[in-house]
Amino acid sequence: MKVLKFGAVWCPGCLVMRPLWQEIEKEWPELLTEYYDVDENKELVKAYAIKEFPCFIFLSKDNTELHREYGEVSKDKLIKFIEQYQAQ
Amino acid sequence: MRRILISFIVLIALFTSCLAFIPPTIKAESQDKLAINLFWGEGCPHCAKEKAYLSKILPEYEDKVSFTDYEIYYDFENSELFVNVLEQLKIDGAGVPFLFIGDKYYVGYGSDDTTGVVIKNMIDSCLESSCPDIVTSIKNGAPIPEQDPEPEEQNLANIEPSSSIYLEAPILGNIDLKSLSLPLATILIAAMDGFNPCAMWILIFLITMLINMKDRKRLYILGSTFIITSGLIYFIFLAAWFNFFQFLGYVTWIKFIIGVVAIVSGVLHLKNALSSKGGCKATNEEQRESIMDRIKKTISTKSFALSMIGIISLAISVNLIELVCSAGLPAVYTNLLSTISLSTWQYYSYLALYILIFMLDDLFIFFMAVRTLEVTGITSKYSKWSSIIGGILILIIGIILIFKPELLMFG
């Protein structure tokens, strides 16, 4: 499983989520995450039909979308999703 | 559609011209008697109280006084006279009820035990001395006595709720709109208007770029220039709305139009809030990119003066677009403010307080950036709720402005 993180330098919610993800990535070193700046990755944003930021997409090993979250999400909630989907 | 619009305009024109021909409700005028002139508005609760009190006490004076009342909300001639009297006497802070006892005046009405006693004392005092009828003098174009009219101690705190309007708001609970003091109402409305972290993206982008340049001086000066210019533009915008309402706010069809604007704005607020998934919507990509390019070019200009000019023009243009798109709450607030009798500096102090609260989140971001040289994110978790509360508030105010405008008159 991996998580795609979509954000922008101008988006206040993305700034709030940045340190939170840093903590999670430290606690879960095996977790795969990829960050995409929405202004530099417009095609990808379009492909995933993302309308709001920040957006976090949980993908399975074969890149099937398992779940997505918009806006500010609590650390507990994110960990719950990671635990739920980590085997996929 | 055009026919309907033209018919609507013609109807409004006919309606307003009809109003202009309604004669003032003058009861009696006499040169020998003490003239008591009351400017009042139909539907204004404090005016109704004052009229009831006057009709109770004036029979005691029988032949000694002559009473004339001027309704100004629906009667254009009377409202023109009111404006003229205030201008001639250089009185700031017009509001009704406005009572002249000869050349003395009293603004507002609290209760029979407070304002009522003051008014009675004024009448008694004028009956003992001479108090010329200044309103009739101005009305007849006669020269005004050199001496300025004397205001009695004005009870401007007599903003009493005639009835309660409750707003059930999440987090804040039940808000009785009429019992809110003016400072609290100012803070509440400004906070709802200003708390929108998603709208701060330009400032966040600007500060990020400035921090990346590692030039503290540019960060201080260009960042504060952007914030100050934005605040000034908003202040001018609020002051323009306020002055518009001070002169025309009591006209019924203007209240109706503001009511419609408020309802549309409230519905849009609610629609946006309810359709939000919790993040910031990425709307108008082209406009965003053009603003981002402009910021990059402006701050990287070698000439500091040119950077300053660029930032000022950027702040003016982006805020003007923003203001047109979110005129609802400022219009409602300034309309409310114009119904209260205050002095000019007090009006503008309230507008300044509104701006300060409106810009609190921008100031926080800026000061944090200056202190830590990092951009701090402001949680947008509650922006959905603030939009919902703001939307409901503005919707209720819009409905009241159309169907029961007197409920929103503090004065």
Regarding whether B333 and B207 lie in a shared domain, the answer is yes
Yes or no, beta carbons of B204 and A16 under 8 Å apart: no
B279, B292, B377 ranked by CB distance to A15: nearest? B377
Residue A70 DSSP code: E
User: Are B282 and A51 within 8 A, CB to CB?
Assistant: yes
Structural contact between residues B249 and B331, judged by C-beta atoms closer than 8 angstroms: no
Query: Both B146 and B289 in a single domain?
Result: no
Nearest to B278 by CA among A4, A44, A11, A43: A11
Write the pLDDT tens digit of every residue in B319-351: 887 776 677 788 888 887 887 767 788 889 999
Note the pLDDT of residue A65. Answer: 93
Instruction: Out of B151, B186, B207, pick the residue that ends a domain.
Output: B151
Least confident stretch, A48-52, B4-8, B161-165, B259-263: B161-165
Q: Among B278, B281, B285, select the one facing A72 at the smallest CB separation.
A: B278
A-to-B residue pairs, Cβ atoms closer than 8 angstroms: 83
Q: Which of B118, B151, B184 is the last residue of a domain?
A: B151
Q: According to the model, what pLDDT value does residue A24 have? A: 95
Tell me, yes or no, if A18 comes closer than 8 A to chain B by beta carbon: yes
Pairwise CB contact (< 8 Å): B380 & A72? yes
Whether B2 has a pLDDT exceeding 60, the answer reads: no
Q: Do B380 and A12 touch (CB under 8 A)?
A: yes
Tell me: do B180 and B263 sit in the same domain. yes
Does B304 map to a domain? yes
Three-state SS sequence of chain B: CHHHHHHHHHHHHHHHHHHHCCCCCCCCCCCCCEEEEEEECCCCHHHHHHHHHHHHHHHHHHHHEEEEEEECCCCHHHHHHHHHHHHHCCCCCCCCCEEEECCEEEECCCCHHHHHHHHHHHHHHHHHCCCCCHHHHHHCCCCCCCCCCEECCCCCCCCCCCCCCEEEECCCEEEEHHHCCHHHHHHHHHHHHHCCHHHHHHHHHHHHHHHHCCCHHHHHHHHHHHHHHHHHHHHHHHHHHHHHHHHHCCCHHHHHHHHHHHHHHHHHHHHHHHHCCCCEECCCHHHHHHHHHHHHHHHHCCCHHHHHHHHHHHHHHHHHHHHHHCCHHHHHHHHHHHCCCCCHHHHHHHHHHHHHHHCHHHHHHHHHHHHHCCCCCCCCCCHHHHHHHHHHHHHHHHHHHHHCHHHHCCC
Which of A6, A9, A10, A41 would you mutate first to test chain B, the one with the most B CBs within 10 A?
A: A10
pLDDT score for B222: 92
Say yes or no: A54 contacts chain B, CB-CB below 8 A: yes
Q: What's the pLDDT at B261?
A: 83
A31 vs chain B: nearest CA distance in angstroms? 24
Which one of A12, A39, A45 has the shortest CB-CB distance to B204?
A12
State whether B201 and A55 contact (CB < 8 Å). no
* Facing residue for A71 by CB, picked from B205, B288, B380: B380
A55 vs B197, B279, B288: nearest CB: B279
Q: What pTM was computed for the model?
A: 0.62
Residue B7 lies in a domain: no
Instruction: Give me the number of domains chain B comprises.
Output: 2
**How do the domains of chain A map onto residue ranges?**
2-85
Give pLDDT, residue B408: 64
Q: What is the CATH number of the domain that holds B80?
A: 3.40.30.10
- A67 Cβ under 8 Å from any chain B Cβ: no
User: B276 in contact with A at a CB cutoff of 8 Å?
Assistant: yes
B8 domain residue, yes or no: no
CA of B203: which chain A residue's CA is closest?
Answer: A10
Share of chain B above pLDDT 90, in %: 18
Task: For residue A64, give the H/E element and its range.
Answer: none
Does the structure show a pLDDT above 90 at B130? no
Of B278, B285, B378, the CB nearest to A12: B378
The two beta strands, B65-71 and B34-40, are: parallel
Instruction: Sort out which chain A residues have CB atoms less than 8 A from B274's CB and list them.
Output: none
Is the same domain home to B183 and B278?
A: yes
Whether B275 and chain A come into contact, CB under 8 Å, resolves to no
The interface pTM score, or ipTM, of the predicted complex is: 0.80
- Nearest residue of chain B to residue A46 (CA atoms): B282
pLDDT band at B94 (very low <50, low <70, confident <90, very high): low
Residues B171 and B140 occupy one common structural domain: no
pLDDT band at B283 (very low <50, low <70, confident <90, very high): low
For tokens 């989907």, the residue is A85
The answer to whether residues B120 and B199 belong to one domain is no
A1 pLDDT higher than 70: yes
Note whether B281 contacts A16, CB cutoff 8 Å: no
A13 close to B (CB below 8 A):
yes
Q: How far apart are CA B410 and CA B162, in angstroms?
A: 9
Distance from CA of A22 to the nearest CA of B (A): 15
Same domain, B379 and B313: yes
Last residue of a domain, one of B99, B123, B151: B151
Residues in chain A closer than 8 A to B197 (CB atoms): 12-13
The verdict on B214 and B147 lying in the same domain is no
Q: Are residues B199 and B139 in the same domain?
A: no
Cβ of residue A70 closer than 8 Å to a chain B Cβ: yes
Mean pLDDT of A25-36: 94
Residue B31 has pLDDT above 60, yes or no: no
Residue B369, pLDDT > 90, answer no
Residue A17 has pLDDT above 50, yes or no: yes
Task: Decide if A71 touches B, using CB distance below 8 A.
Answer: yes
Are B223 and B318 members of one domain? yes
Q: Do B380 and A14 touch (CB under 8 A)?
A: no
Computed over every residue of chain B, the mean pLDDT equals 77
CATH 3.40.50.970 fits A2-85, yes or no: no
Same domain assignment for residues B141 and B196:
no
What range does the domain containing B138 cover? 20-151
Q: Does B80 lie at the interface with A, CB-CB under 8 angstroms? A: no
Please give, rounded to a whole number of angstroms, the shortest distance from the CA of B350 to a CA of chain A: 29
- Whether B281 and B372 share a structural domain: yes
